[in-house]
Amino acid sequence: MSAQLLEVEDLHAYYGKSHILHGVSFHVREGEIVSLLGRNGVGRSTTIKAIMGNVPPRGSIRFKGEEIAGIKPHQTARKGLGFVPETRDIFPGLTVRQNLQLGEKSGKAAGRWTMNDMFRMFPQLEDRADTPGGVLSGGEQQMLTVCRTLMGDPDLIMIDEPTEGLSPKMVEHIGEFLVEIAGRGVAILLVEQKLTIALKISKRLYVMGHGRIVYEGTPAELEQASAVRKEWLEV
């Protein structure tokens, strides 16, 4: 069994006086895709923001065996933890190529990913390499955000709602892309609303409700757990 890469224990987080996360615990192993499921407002996005350091965490967050709870986001990123926010924070005035170059890991050591890798996986990005990011479609911007994060050569990438607002064809394409990323040894923590894509590509799943983990299992187990789906996932 592969080693544990990310271990979260008894994680609490607050927005002002509002207590959002109530003791969240889970883990992600090397190279696996793990999905964090749940309805809107249960704390999924807050969980990954707290891991990244964008929201002050209380509790233990261990990455590659090192405690990282409370360090700054740029320090977290340097340790090999990538974050793709739901807001798709691309630089609209810069071209696709320039956005990708901004993501490149500093230093002389070559990472796992090159710009050619990105263009091979997403030919439409290559076609628009010299186009400003701001004029890309939502799906293309989503691809660009993920690709820019990969250029920093993370060992684990946390992705918040990557298929939000995308066409079914683009959703399928993003799913295939995530499987390829994991196949190259990059673990993925996926916050996802669409159960179908999560069930299709995940190794394991966690379901959140009211700021807690309420279920853990494999996709096959969750498909059988109709009571869990009804109570915590179905609208």
User: What are φ and ψ of residue 136, in 5° steps?
Assistant: -70, 155
pTM metric for this prediction? 0.90
DSSP label at residue 133:
G
Q: According to the model, what pLDDT value does residue 83 have?
A: 92
Q: According to the model, what pLDDT value does residue 1 have?
A: 61
| Residue 81 clears pLDDT 90, i.e. is over it | yes
Q: What is the mean pLDDT of the chain?
A: 89
Amino acid in the structure at residue 157? I
Confidence of residue 24 (pLDDT cuts 50, 70, 90): very high
Domains of the chain with CATH codes: 4-232 (3.40.50.300)
Q: According to the model, what pLDDT value does residue 42 have?
A: 93
Task: For the chain, give the percent of residues with pLDDT over 70.
Answer: 97
Average pLDDT over residues 135-139: 84
- Put the strands of the sheet holding 33-37 in their side by side order: 81-84, 156-160, 187-191, 33-37, 204-209, 212-217
Average pLDDT over residues 94-110: 80
Q: According to the model, what pLDDT value does residue 106 have?
A: 67
- C-alpha–C-alpha distance, residues 157 and 32, integer Å: 11
- Put the strands of the sheet holding 57-63 in their side by side order: 18-29, 4-15, 57-63, 66-67
Q: According to the model, what pLDDT value does residue 58 have?
A: 94
Task: For the chain, give the percent of residues with pLDDT over 90.
Answer: 54
Q: How far is CA 14 from CA 52, 85, 207, in A?
A: 15, 19, 20
Indicate the pairing of strand 57-63 with strand 66-67. Answer: antiparallel
Nearest Cα to Cα of residue 53 among 64, 61, 43: 61
What tens digit of pLDDT does each residue of 34-70 get?
Answer: 999 998 889 999 999 999 999 999 999 999 999 999 8
What tens digit of pLDDT does each residue of 174-225 get?
Answer: 888 899 889 988 999 999 888 888 999 999 999 999 999 999 999 999 999 9
Nearest Cα to Cα of residue 86 among 170, 151, 142, 139: 142
